[in-house]
Amino acid sequence: KNCSPAQTKRVNSSRRACLIARYSFIFAHERMDAEATLRTFICDMELVQRIIYIAALECFRVAKVAFWKIKTTVKHNLSLTHSEPPPIDVAVLDYIIYHKDVYDVFESVHEVICAMDMNPKISYPPVVDFVVISTLIKELCAVAFAMQTLDPPLDVTCGIDGELFNRTMYYRSSDSDHTAGYVAYHVWPPLMENGVVIVKGEVVTRS
């Protein structure tokens, strides 16, 4: 199906708004559910929040790799019969958007959990089977993959413990020391578009 540039721009803008809202909804709901689930196994709230933060980063990493592989395959297959318009890259994105089954989100969930199992920042061997937060992981993988079909794509950025607190990128958590200037650890990654913060992340600051 061919669309005019104006139609394509409107559709992309609408999908972008929906995906940004979905990312915020995951933070407000699925993240809290995952936090409550982990708290039944782990008493240390800092470790619980670190686990969820690393899960979010891994979801975007795994989803981006999956998108690149699928995009490469689809582009190869379409190039055999494609004739303009639209340009091949636009046709590839359209195909991925309208054929959601090309992405195996459950395979990504498995890859994320495997990566988390090996991450020394949240203890190795793992203190809990991370499959207990698979609902959160699945939702994040799905939204991260869909964000790669936007033009430009959306992504999260990884923070560093001890970095200077940046109010344009993060909110402080309610239990933070609001006079502290440095990040103790990260709770949720900010959502970015071409280096610009679209949705702030959350951190804990302590003296």
Residues in the chain: 207
Query: Domain boundary at 136, 152, 168, which?
Result: 152
Domain that holds residue 172: 157-206
Clarify whether residues 116 and 147 are in a common domain. yes
Query: Domain boundary at 113, 133, 152, which?
Result: 152
Give the tokens for residue 101. Answer: 């089954």
Clarify whether residues 94 and 190 are in a common domain. no
Q: CB count, 10 Å around CB of 197?
A: 15
Give all strands of the β-sheet with 183-188 in edge-to-edge order: 170-172, 201-205, 183-188
Clarify whether residues 33 and 123 are in a common domain. yes
What is the pLDDT, as a whole number, of residue 4?
52
Clarify whether residues 102 and 53 are in a common domain. yes
CA distance 176 to 178: 6
Clarify whether residues 18 and 79 are in a common domain. yes
Clarify whether residues 95 and 125 are in a common domain. yes
Q: CB count, 10 Å around CB of 171?
A: 14
Clarify whether residues 92 and 119 are in a common domain. yes
What is the pLDDT, as a whole number, of residue 79?
83
The answer for residues whose C-beta is within 8 angstroms of residue 106's C-beta and 6 or more apart is 138
Clarify whether residues 177 and 132 are in a common domain. no
What is the pLDDT, as a whole number, of residue 86?
75
Clarify whether residues 131 and 191 are in a common domain. no
What is the pLDDT, as a whole number, of residue 8?
64
What is the pLDDT, as a whole number, of residue 10?
74
Clarify whether residues 101 and 141 are in a common domain. yes
Query: Domain boundary at 152, 175, 196, which?
Result: 152
Regions of the chain where pLDDT drops below 50: none
Clarify whether residues 132 and 164 are in a common domain. no
Clarify whether residues 55 and 142 are in a common domain. yes
What is the pLDDT, as a whole number, of residue 80?
81
Written as one letter, the residue type at 36 is A
The total number of structural domains in the chain stands at: 2
